[in-house]
Structure 1
């Protein structure tokens, strides 16, 4: 059965709630703060009402900082619109998936069945977003992940989008940087075999590095939660690679970097967007310095969209935005832009199918992380940046465009 046929019961319920939702909006329903729930409603064109949008993020657990940053970016985008698109109130409903697959599926089912969301922004990690996407694909609800980069997330799915580039591109970016900018002839890779994000990056880097004439002299692995990597790193030190690719999040990478230097690894350390957190330096110390990683965004970028975003984020939260905050901001704005275009065309912005169709037609959207158009798999076509780890934090090095 198609997703649309599964949605008839839900749409029938929504139709019965239209009058109540309009009355609530007229009495001041909605507002600037994220809600814990609410009833969606509205009609076509300029009718007005409330549109519920889910924000599914890991706000507790291993990568809670990533979830908080992404949530803050998304909420800022909605707040800047006054929680309104046209005559419709945008009601963000935030749920904590705890970076746990079972919890994430339960939370997204609640967003769909109880909160009647038209779309979900989330989640952060590919490990969580993949099972969540399967639920939303079956239910016919739009999903746009700000940050999940696993290649397998979007292909073959009608309802699933992302605001970030995907792992194959990141791996290619870092392989190209290693070969052309660092003149690396040999590479080693140490990855988390239990994490699809890490495994996908490893495979794309390895293939691209070898295709460009480099030699991968050692590949080794560990599992999420491991703390001692010295055995693998000792073997890598014996192989003496020019670069060591560490495709994982900042917390294991910081520990790996320290242990790598302890056992004599002299290679330049390379990574991907999972490195993007200030705690990388707390965990890695001097061992992490003078490494390089691919990312979606740099605070040093000079485009007008980035400058305005940085200023607004600092004013709202009292700190500089990370790339994840920028992606959360772009994901929310992509969704709001699609809703606006549905309204402008006289459509019904409470209908997820119409929002999906508008998202598919996105071309040349000016985001903080780049100018975004979606390809046939709902992946954005945009640039990546390479950053260096320094004693003063991340330093912009170069921009790499898709080929």
Structure 2
């Protein structure tokens, strides 16, 4: 049944960016394929389709610069439907049939964890997620269970939870209920938020998990309303999150929402109804203002016509760029080459190179000359630690006039100061 379903639902087309033009003016005769597993449908589909465009834009960028090691770059993109079992099947297809050495994805922490433990780590294939933020990945890496093949271009929820707790505290909230998706993402973010909000003097009136794809969440909402909270921290994805939010409002819950990265979605706001969201305090992975971010924004709008206000499109772009640069640096395409060269093309050593075709061409030139360099990502500097983690700022967002809008940025320094204080 699963195989039959996969044939009908997996989007298995190879998505190719602009055609690479070799120095002699002829199209590259070879291709290098990078795999990708993302939620194009399901609960995260509303966000995943735009995030996938970030990865596609990076492929186009690399090909405009002549490809990788003289070969055209290609993205084999599969839909995981925001479902761990489907994600594992997709990843197996990419590894066993497409023979990819690196996979960008997944988006959901639950899907990424299933792929990492069942496919990529055992197969020694590099996996870089642009948006899986659960602290569980750090713990797994510390236990030596990722083999060094796991990376992510988004910061851990160990940072986002602190940022959200501070925002809630600074807004004067004292009593908050937590409704969270029962998966590694929801459990990790909910747990860390509760720890820091309590340390700041706040009270968690209830912490209620919910399962995906339920027709109703009235029971969970009823439990979360016990204790008379001033607000709800709703952790989830647009699909199920919409149902939970609607039932929260219908049950008379306060229309004050704390929302994380997974719900930074205009579709989510539209489906719930902005008029029912009297106040929204949102957090999501942010990007430092660099030449790379400017290039990304301009190129994205030129290619797709508009730039949505949501997280992780830039992180997906950077994941592809880092893989391509690692292959170019290592003069190969194997998983070992990618893994061993990722930290050699990031960090802060050597000359800075930025996003865009010109930046990739500059990196190639420096590689040929034997000179050190580091890629400054669209999210900022990428300093991968021993566990594949990188830090970054948190974007602060809200809903104004019915539209999702970013209102500020909380720096890593500011977040670390909160951690030190509490």
Scaled by the length of structure 1, what TM-score is found?
0.80
Q: Distance in 2 between matches of 1:152 and 1:231?
A: 28
Aligned residue pair count = 353
Give, in angstroms, the shift of residue 227 of structure 1.
4.1
TM-score, reference length from structure 2: 0.77
Q: Distance in 2 between matches of 1:177 and 1:53?
A: 38
**Does residue 1:319 correspond to 2:286, yes or no?**
no
- Post-superposition offset of 1:340: 2.8
**Aligned equivalent of 1:310, options 292, 297, 305:** 297
Distance 1:31 1:198, change over 3 A: closer
Q: Partners in 1 of 2:113 and 2:342 — Cα distance?
A: 20
What do residues 116-163 of structure 1 show as CA deviations (whole Å, max 9, x unaligned)? 212111111111111211211111111101111122235232101111
Residue 203 of structure 1 corresponds to 191
1:241 lines up with 2:263 in the alignment: no
Q: Within 2, Cα distance between the matches of 1:319 and 1:123?
A: 24
1:159 aligns with 2:159: no
Query: Take 1:289 and 1:182, find their aligned partners in 2: how far apart are those partners?
Result: 14
Corresponding residue of 1:328: 316
Aligned to 1:21: none
Name the CA shift for 1:144/1:184 in 2 (closer, same or farther; >3 Å).
Answer: same
Matching residue within 87, 98, 104 for 2:70? 87
Aligned with 1:381 (options 370, 388, 391)? 391
Q: State the match for 2:351 in structure 1.
A: none
5 Å matches for 1:21-36? Answer: 32=17
CA distance in 2, matches of 1:164, 1:31: 24
Residue 291 of structure 1 aligns to a residue whose secondary structure is: strand
The root-mean-square deviation of aligned C-alpha atoms, in Å, is 2.5
1:276 aligns with 2:264: yes
Instruction: Please give the secondary structure, in 1, of the residue aligned with 2:249.
Output: helix
| Distance in 2, Cα, partners of 1:78 & 1:249 | 27
Change (3 A) 1:311 1:324: same
Unaligned 5+ runs, structure 2: 1-14, 20-28, 349-374, 417-422
1:401 maps to 411
Is the contact between residue 18 and residue 63 of structure 2 (CA under 8 Å) also seen in structure 1? no
Of the three residues 96, 99, 124, the one matched with 1:113 is: 96
Match of 1:187? 176
Deviations 1:232-285 (CA, angstroms, capped at 9, x unpaired):
434544522233211111233333333323333226210211112211122221
1:136 alignment counterpart: 120
**Structure 2: distance between partners of 1:267 and 1:98:** 30
1:167 is displaced (CA, Å) by 2.0
Contact 1:254 1:288 in 2 (8 A): no
Give SS of 1:117's match: coil
